[in-house]
Amino acid sequence: MLAKIGLVIVGTALAMSAMGRVENVVAHRGFGSSVVCAQESNDPADDPAAQDDADAENATSASGVYSGTIVDNNLGTGMISASLSQQHSKLDGTFVATFVSSNYGPGFVNGKISSNGSINARLKFSLKGKCGLNFHGTFQNGNEISGDYTMTGCKKMSDHGTFEMHQ
């Protein structure tokens, strides 16, 4: 068994050595065209998405678990909670709003936050479907999210309201 393992190791080493020599001959003796080498860059300045998000990197992170009060035009006052994760300017997470007669969610949060704390997010009630809340608000004081929402994409339903959450 050891002989077989040794043979595989020696064969692999020889193959790698031969491939390196063939690549070297091709690169330096003119077989084909010029050789171009690429190197992966970890420089955020080279990433267009990172450039768009650059101002949000300087902002305080809105990641965390929040809870607070929601005031809905149709359902009245209730409780809202959310768990959010921020990467650059992108916000993702989950939420649930609980009222005496009904609930919004549990659902999913997807949105953007700017360096000045402005938030635009979509709070969807399910992964599939279009029903959810369009939220426009602010992240302030390092631990508070507040703003207004409008329900959209829900058949024969329309609603709006406000909420305020703290960590």
Question: Domain 60-166 - what CATH class?
Answer: mainly beta
- What are 63's two structure tokens? 């990641």
Beta bridge partners of 94: 83, 108
Give the span between the Cα atoms of 64 and 79, in whole angstroms: 17
CB atoms within 10 A of CB 104: 25
Alpha-carbon distance 104 to 72, whole Å? Answer: 10
Instruction: Kindly give the confidence (pLDDT) of every residue in the chain, 167 residues in length, as a single tens digit, with 9 standing for 90 and above.
Output: 555 554 445 445 444 554 445 444 444 444 444 444 434 444 444 444 444 455 545 556 899 999 999 999 988 999 999 999 999 999 999 999 998 888 887 889 999 999 899 999 999 987 667 888 999 999 999 899 999 999 988 887 778 999 999 99
Domain assignments of the chain as residue spans, ordered by start: 2-56, 60-166
- The pTM of the full predicted model, rounded to 2 decimals, is 0.62
Beta-strand (E) ranges in 29-124? Answer: 64-72, 76-87, 90-98, 103-113, 118-124
CB 123 within 8 A of CB 109: yes
Q: What pLDDT score was predicted for residue 58?
A: 52
45 secondary structure, DSSP code = G
Q: Which residues contact 71 (CB under 8 A, 6 or more apart)?
A: 77, 78, 161, 162, 163
How far apart, in whole angstroms, are the C-alpha atoms of residue 148 and residue 121?
11
